[in-house]
Amino acid sequence: AKQRGALCLRGRCYEREHLPFVAFDRAIDALTLTLSRWPAALVDPIKPALLAASRIFSALRMLVDDPAPGWREAADRGEQLHAALDGLAAIIDHCQREAPLLLVLDDLQWADEESVALLEVILSRCTGRIMILGLLRNREPSGDPVAARLQALARGRAA
């Protein structure tokens, strides 16, 4: 896919690493590096989204200046999280308009709730030239809410 001009991002989960958004951490690091090489004309339209998403992915801070005068920090943590998730979905959507995008997320059986929430947001808002490949070992939900959400996503979006 990369040889054909696609932007390829890869993330993964780990059995013993339970950090929020861990499935996307490496993918966002790679995305940050890619965006740092793009011309300003392509990155400037997503500066507000980068600023919002940098609240949960600090690597993105290198792409934004300090907040503009009048920019206000979201009042509560829930509002900040919602803005950050929306921001990252907007970034992903913008990128897939510039180049086909492949996002591979490995070992999702160990995904944290925040990673699944972000995956849900991306799936609900991004359409077009994007393929998301989620890899996980088959396991029954058996009361595990994260596994149940992943199975629901797979049923709802498989093509």
111-126 per-position pLDDT tens digit:
898 999 999 999 888 8
Burial of 39 (0-12, 13-18, 19+ CB in 10 A): exposed
- pLDDT the model gives residue 34: 96
Q: Which residues, 6+ apart, have CB-to-CB distance to 97 below 8 Å?
A: 128, 129
> Mean pLDDT, to the nearest integer, of 5-14?
93
Beta strands in the chain (DSSP E): 7-12, 101-106, 130-134
Q: 109 or 66: whose pLDDT is higher? A: 109
Instruction: Give pLDDT tens digits for 47-94.
Output: 999 999 998 999 999 999 765 444 455 557 778 888 999 999 999 999
CA distance 1 to 37: 19
Q: Taken in order 22, 31, 77, 145, is the CA torsion positive or negative?
A: negative
What's this model's pTM, rounded to 2 decimal places? 0.82
Q: Is the pLDDT of residue 137 over 90?
A: no
28-to-16, 23, 71 alpha-carbon distances in Å: 20, 10, 24
- pLDDT the model gives residue 125: 86
CA distance 155 to 28: 26
